[in-house]
Amino acid sequence: MICPGFLDRESRRDLIELAGDGSAAHRLARRANALVLLDDGMSCEAISRVLFLDNDTIRTWYQFYGEDGIEGLASFGHEGGSCRLTVEQQDKLKAWIAEALPRTTCAVGAWIARECGIEYQTRSGLIALSHRLGMEHRKPKAVSRKLDPVKQAAFIKKYGNSPGRWTAQAIRMSAIRRSGSAVKV
């Protein structure tokens, strides 16, 4: 059994703060909770029942903490794969996306398969690639073809140009005017 009181005061405070931090990754917060409960004297079996985990998982987290401290808890061992495209292919892809503004990840995947001979099997892989390239895929928003610039100008003049005075309709109209390309470069 793991003896209670293995955490020093500062480590315990840091783990309790981490466990209560809503912005911390949920998995990391659960690990912190488990160690604080261990330090309170609960057994691995009791903690596993409380957190709905296997008690070997609790022991593994304790081992990670013992070896590397909080950094050990924060390491999930899933660092992701490296990019399958060469730097030249990535540059070529970025230029094509900026020029063509593809509407779907399927179009991007088809271009990569055709031009580079590499098949991406999942949409999430293509989205991860776009993030790695500093791009963001967004589904295009429909814009009415019946927008009248004269009516829009009159509306803005009537309700003022100050964002604090805008109505919900004015904000929606502003969002429609700002919506644009499917890919932000």
Q: Is the pLDDT of residue 111 over 90?
A: yes
Residue 62: count other Cβ atoms within 10 Å of its Cβ. 21
11: Cα separation from own chain's centroid: 28
Question: Per-residue pLDDT for 165 more than 80?
Answer: no
pLDDT for residue 185: 39
Place of tokens 């109505």: 167
Mean pLDDT of 7-27: 75
Q: What is the pLDDT of residues 32-87, one digit of tens each?
A: 889 999 999 999 999 988 877 788 889 999 998 998 888 888 776 655 567 788 88
Whole-angstrom distance, CA of residue 60 vs CA of residue 76 = 12
Note whether 140 and 103 are within 8 A (CB).
Answer: yes
Domain parsing of the chain, residue ranges: 9-74, 87-137, 149-184
Using the structure block, give the residue that is written with the tokens 């293509």: 126
Q: What are phi and psi of 127, to 5 degrees?
A: -65, -40
Identify which of 64, 12, 13 has the alpha carbon closest to the alpha carbon of residue 41.
12
**Distance of alpha carbon 142 from alpha carbon 123, whole angstroms:** 22
Is this prediction's pTM over 0.95?
no
179: Cβ contacts below 8 Å, ≥ 6 apart: 140, 141, 143
CB 169 within 8 A of CB 126: no
| Position 164 pLDDT exceeds 60 | no
What is the C-alpha to C-alpha distance for residues 89 and 85, in angstroms, rounded to an integer? 6
